[in-house]
Amino acid sequence: MPPRTTTTRLSAIAPTVVVNYSDKTWQEVATLAGEWTGLEDQAATAIADFDARVAEVADAITVPEGSAQAVVFNNLEWDSAVAKETGAHATLLADLGFDVIEADPALDTSDTARDDFAFVAPENLSAAFTAETLFLVNGTDTEKEALASTELLQEIPAVVNEQIYPLGATSFRIDYYSALDIVDTVEGYFGG
C-alpha cells in the first residue's frame, strides 16, 4: 500500500484541494477558489476591485522617465533575479505605467525555463541591472543601501540616478494582499 500523503490525510478530515500556485497569478488562484467554494462572484469582484485600484494609481502617479526593472538583490553571495516581462511583478509594474525591461537572456543562469525571473550571477549584475529605475522585490531600506553601496554596481543607472525603490518584505510572492501593498507602496513613491 502506498504511503498516505498529506493531501490524503487532509481529505479524510475535510474536502481538500491542492494548488500549485507557482505558475498561476493570484487572480487565477482566486478564480479557481471561487469555483471550488461557490464564491465565483466574490472572486470576480475582488479581481475587478483590484484592477480598478491599479488603474486609479496608474492615473495618479508620475512615472519616472526611462525603463524599470523589478529585481531580487542577493548581495554578491549568490545569484540575484530580474523579473521577466511575463512575470507577476513586471506585469503589475507595467499595469501601473512603467516601461519594464528584462535582463539580457544570455545572462540567465536558471537550470529550467521560467516565466517569472531570470537569475543572474553576481559578476554579471552590472550588465543585468540596466534600467533607470529599480524596484527591490522582497526589499527594504537595508537591501537598498546594500545595493547602492556595492562597488560592482556603482555605475548602473539606478544607483547613479538614486532611483532604487524597495517594495517591502511581503512583495516576493504576489497574492491579493501583497499586490495591493505593492500598489500602495508605488503610489507612496510616485504619487502627488
pLDDT digits 0-9 by tens, 102-153? 999 999 999 988 899 999 999 999 999 999 999 999 999 999 999 999 999 9
Give the span between the Cα atoms of 120 and 110, in whole angstroms.
8
Q: What is the mean pLDDT of residues 166-184?
A: 95
Q: What is the mean pLDDT of residues 71-83?
A: 95
Q: Which of 13-27, 35-49, 90-104, 154-168 has the lowest mean pLDDT?
A: 13-27
**The pLDDT value given to residue 20:** 76
Q: Which residues contact 78 (CB under 8 A, 6 or more apart)?
A: 122
Helix axes 40-60, 88-95, angle to 10 degrees: 60
pLDDT at 1 over 50: no
Place of cell 493531501: 7
> pLDDT digits over 20-43, tens only?
777 788 999 999 999 999 999 999
**The pLDDT value given to residue 4:** 63
**The pLDDT value given to residue 173:** 87
Q: What is the mean pLDDT of residues 53-76?
A: 97
H or E stretch covering 26: helix 26-37
Q: What is the mean pLDDT of residues 3-10?
A: 72
Beta strands in 111-163 (DSSP E): 117-120, 133-136
**The pLDDT value given to residue 2:** 53
**The pLDDT value given to residue 18:** 81
Q: Which amino acid is at 129?
A: F
pLDDT at 6 over 80: no
Q: Domains in the chain, please, with CATH? A: 6-60 (no CATH), 67-190 (3.40.50.1980)
Coil vs helix vs strand at 166 = strand
Supply angle C-alpha 93, 33, 8, rounded to 5.
125
pLDDT at 83 over 90: yes
Give the span between the Cα atoms of 108 and 185, in whole angstroms.
28
**The pLDDT value given to residue 3:** 56
pTM of the model: 0.90
Q: Which amino acid is at 182?
A: I
